[in-house]
């Protein structure tokens, strides 16, 4: 895949995510909003962590993607 096509695809995904956040279909949290990180899995695209949102007792699964050039 050439660089321009990859850049276009990445921008389309970024735009899709930003629109979903604006429409409140997704919640956006900063990394610093979480505490008690525990790695619970690793896959081909990244790692999964268990963490607590500060001031809440709820557990969340957070996905951290590897920097892949696909």
Binding-site residues: 63
- Binding-site positions for ATP read 63
Q: How many CB atoms lie under 10 A from the CB of residue 7? A: 11
C-alpha pair distances (Å), 33 with each of 21, 22, 29, 44: 17, 19, 6, 26
Q: Dihedral (C-alpha) 7, 9, 14, 19: value to the nearest 10 degrees? A: 140
């Amino acid at each position: 895949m050439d660089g321009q096509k990859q850049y276009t695809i990445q921008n389309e995904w970024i735009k899709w995510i930003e629109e979903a956040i604006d429409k409140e279909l997704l919640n956006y949290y900063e990394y610093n909003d979480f505490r008690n990180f525990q790695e619970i899995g690793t896959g081909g695209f990244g790692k999964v962590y268990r963490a607590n949102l500060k001031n809440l007792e709820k557990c969340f699964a957070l996905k951290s993607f590897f920097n892949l050039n696909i």
